[in-house]
Amino acid sequence: MSAQAGSPISGRAENPYDHISERGGPAPVLQRNHDRPAGLDNPRAPRRRNGMPNFEKYTWLFMRFSGVVLVFLALGHLFIMLMWENGVYRIDFNYVAQRWSSPFWQTWDLLLLWLAQLHGGNGMRTIIADYTRKDSTKFWLNTLLALSMIFTLVLGTYVLLTFNANIS
């Protein structure tokens, strides 16, 4: 019995890619960076920036926990405002003044404001990151988002905490 190349007797396995050198080498790699196949020198995932480590993980966790809390806060708010006693017919300036004189309701509404604003803002930040291609567009959209969130949070907190029922 003779030992042929690639047989287990010869100790040398046949390389199925030997024919590549006969045809001129491997296929050329495309020139654009995003069309190249993933490799150690060109991974698909971008390299980590020098920002806060695990920022996306913490924002993901915040979205889940704040969403659960927001369900209870928002449904409680809707139930009290729309269904309790006479529903919307009892809501007027005096009702709001009486409600916001209580630290419990101030805290409830403040927590609802902050969690809803941060939860929605984080969702918008994710949408901006997913759908913008240029870094400059992403920067300006995130800047506008941050400014609008800060404005809404500051104004809402100011109104809630400094509300004076004694208007003369």
Residue closest to 148 by CA, chosen among 130, 163, 134, 128:
128
Contact 107, 157 (CB under 8 A): no
pLDDT at 88: 82
Share of the chain above pLDDT 70, in %: 70
The residue ranking higher by pLDDT, 41 or 34, is 41
Report H helices in 12-134: 19-22, 55-78, 93-100, 103-131
Other CB atoms closer than 10 Å to residue 97's CB: what's the count?
A: 14
At 155, the amino acid letter reads L
Q: Name the pTM for this structure.
A: 0.66
Contact 88, 102 (CB under 8 A): no
Q: Is residue 67 pLDDT above 90, yes or no?
A: yes
Contact 67, 116 (CB under 8 A): no
pLDDT class of 116 with cuts at 50, 70, 90: very high
pLDDT at 49: 65
Least confident among 46-55, 107-116, 131-140:
46-55
Share of the chain above pLDDT 90, in %: 45
What's the mean pLDDT in 65-90? 90
